[in-house]
Amino acid sequence: MARFTQTETRRQHHPQQPQPSHSSLVFTGPGAPPTQQPLLLIPHQHQYPQITFPKPMNGSEPISIHPESGNMKDQDAIKLFIGQIPRNLEEKDLKPLFEQFGKIHELTVLKDRYTGMHKGCAFLTYCARESAIKAQNALHEQKTLPGMTRPIQVKPADSESRGEDRKLFVGMLNKQQTEEDVYRLFEPYGVIEECTVLRGPDGNSKGCAFVKFSTHTEAQSAISALHGSQTMPGASSSLVVKFADTDKERTIRRMQQMVGQFGIFNPAIALPFSTYSSYAHALMQQQAAIMAASHGGYLTPSVAFPATQIHQMGALNINSLPPTPMTPVSGLSSPPANITTSAVPSIVTPIVNGFTGIPHQPNGHPAVETVYTNGLPPYSTQSPTAADTLQQAFTGVQQYTAIYPATTLTPIGQTLPQPAQVIQQQQQREGPEGCNLFIYHLPQEFGDNELMQMFLPFGTVISSKVFMDRATNQSKCFGFVSFDNPASAQAAIQAMNGFQIGMKRLKVQLKRPKDASRPY
C-alpha cells in the first residue's frame, strides 16, 4: 500500500505573481524517483503518486521498427503521454531530455491537424519498457519546463490502458478537504492511481476532485458506496460520486458555457442577433441529446429530447453533408479566411460567418463548403458524428476568438467586400417531394447565404432562396430551402420550426407542391 505525507510548497518561478500554495500527496515506495535534474528543467517540489503501469494483456503486440533508428522496441513497451510542453519545443529539443532514460523508439509532438499548431503535448515510446518507467518516475509532476506554470506530465498514454471508465468525478466536497482526505475516503474501494483536488489559480479548492481507480469495478463500487452517502460540512448538498466526463461531454459543456458568454463578450454577436447564440445552443442540445441516447442517458434530463426527435436528429451526422472537393488551405497567413475554411466546420459557421463578416471564398462559394472535405478526421475509423464536428468547430472558434478579439470583429451591418453578385446567382433548384421547406419570419438581414448556413447542419442544402422586394431590394422575410432528402427536411423542421429569433419565431414547414397550390 502506498504511503504518503502532506506537503505545502510554494511556486518559485513567478516572484511577481500571487504565490499559490499547493498541497499534494507524496508517495514513497520501492520505485523512488532518481534525483537527476537536467539543465532544461526547473526543479519542482511536487511529488505525486507513482502510477502502476498496466502489463499488456498478451504478447501479441506487433513489433515495430522505427525508420530512423532501426531499433526495436520491447513487446511490452509503454507509450507515454508527455504534457505541459512549451509550444516552442519540437522533437529535437525534447529528445535530449528524454534520452537520458534510455533509447527512444519514437517521439511525436502533437500538432493540430488543420493549423499545425503545437498542442503542448507529445507521445513518447522508448525501446525498453523500463526506460518509460524510469522517465515517469523521474519527471512526472517533478519538474516544470521553462515558461510553463504547471509541472511536466509523463504517464502512460490513454491508448495504453483498456479504455475502461475508471476515473471518478467527486463533487460537493468541502473546500478544506485535501488530496489526502479524498484518498482516505476512497481507499477502501480499490487501488487509487490518481487523486487530484481541483483548484483555482489561487490554489483554493473548487470543492471537487478526480479519483482514478485501477479498475472499472473498483470505481463502480466507490460510486455505490459513496454517492449521496454523506454531506460534507459546508457543502450545499450530499457528496457526488460519478464517472468523470468524457472528452466529448467536456467539449459540449464548454461550448455551452461559451455560448452563454457570447452575447456578453462579443459585441458583434450580442446585437441584434443575440439569438444566434441560442441557435448554437439549440444545436448543442441536439448533440447532447444524441449523446445521451448513445451513451445510455448520461446527461441531465433537461437536455434530453423525445425519442422520436432524437431519431430525426440523426440527420445531423456529417455524412449527410455534400461532398465538395476543394483544396484545403493551410497556414495562418490570412487567419480569418483560413480558419473559417480549414478549422470551422459548418455547424458553428452560422455564428462565425453570419456575424463577423468573414469573407467568402473568391470563387463565390461560401467558405463553409471546404469543411465538407476537411471535417473528416483522417485517422477516424468510424463514421464521425456531428459531435466530432462540433468538437472541431469549437476548437476553431476558440482559435478564432483567441486571435481576433471581439472588439476587432466586424459588426453586423458593416460588410466586408465580397462578391455578392456571384453569391446571389445561385440557381434555385427544387429538391424531390418532401425535401423543400418554406421558411417565414426570417430576420430582415438574412440573405440566401445566411439561410443556407442556418439549415446546413441538417443535411445537404441544394438551394436556398430569400425572397426580395423588387422595389426596395429588401428581404420579404421568407424563403425556401431545399434538401436532397426528406429526412433532412424533417430534421430541420423539428429543430427550427418555432425557433425564436429576436421577437419573431421561425415558421418552418414543407413547401406546398406546385400542383397543390395551383389547382385547376
Residue 66 engages DNA in binding (rule: CB under 7 A): no
Residue 387: CB minimum distance to DNA, A: 14
54 vs 120 by CB, closer to DNA: 120
Gap between the Cα atoms of 468 and 445, Å rounded:
11
β-bridge partners, 111: 118
Gap between the Cα atoms of 487 and 314, Å rounded:
9
Residue 196: CB minimum distance to DNA, A: 6
Residue 170 φ/ψ, nearest 5 degrees: -120, 115
Cell of 102: 534510455
- Only segment of 107-115, 311-319, 366-374, 502-510 that touches DNA (CB under 7 A): 107-115
Residue 35 engages DNA in binding (rule: CB under 7 A): no
Residue 175 φ/ψ, nearest 5 degrees: -65, -15
Residues between 123 and 142 that touch DNA (CB under 7 A): 123
Residue 250 engages DNA in binding (rule: CB under 7 A): yes
153 vs 410 by CB, closer to DNA: 153
52 vs 415 by CB, closer to DNA: 52
Instruction: For residue 83, give the amino acid letter.
Output: G
208 vs 316 by CB, closer to DNA: 208
Cell of 197: 483536488
Residue 424 engages DNA in binding (rule: CB under 7 A): no
The DSSP symbol for 345 reads -
Number of residues in contact with DNA under rule CB under 7 A: 39
- Only segment of 115-123, 131-139, 405-413, 429-437 that touches DNA (CB under 7 A): 115-123
Residue 515 φ/ψ, nearest 5 degrees: -65, -30
Please spell the DSSP secondary structure of 394-458, one letter per residue.
HHHHHHHHHHS-GGGSPPTT-PPP--HHHHHTPPP---STT-EEEEES--TT--HHHHHHHHGGG
392 vs 460 by CB, closer to DNA: 392
CA 10: distance to chain centroid?
32
Residue 230 engages DNA in binding (rule: CB under 7 A): no
Q: Which of 470, 464, 518, 504 is nearest to 488 (CA)?
A: 464
Residue 379 engages DNA in binding (rule: CB under 7 A): yes
Q: In this structure, what is the dihedral angle of CA atoms 385, 386, 390, 391, given to the nearest 10 degrees? A: -10
295 vs 512 by CB, closer to DNA: 295
Gap between the Cα atoms of 314 and 286, Å rounded:
9
Residue 150 engages DNA in binding (rule: CB under 7 A): yes
157 vs 310 by CB, closer to DNA: 157
Residue 143 engages DNA in binding (rule: CB under 7 A): no
Task: Please report where in the chains the cell 464521425 appears, as a residue.
Answer: 384
Among 16, 88, 236, 381, binds DNA (CB under 7 A): 236
Coil, helix or strand at residue 261: helix
Q: Angle formed by the axes of helices 386-403 and 349-356, to 10°?
A: 30
Residue 113 engages DNA in binding (rule: CB under 7 A): yes
Residues between 153 and 212 that touch DNA (CB under 7 A): 153, 155, 157-159, 167, 169, 171-172, 196, 198, 206-208, 210
Residue 113: CB minimum distance to DNA, A: 7
For DNA, the binding residues (CB under 7 A) are 79, 81, 83-85, 108, 110, 113, 119-121, 123, 150, 153, 155, 157-159, 167, 169, 171-172, 196, 198, 206-208, 210, 236-237, 240, 242, 244-245, 247, 250, 253-254, 379
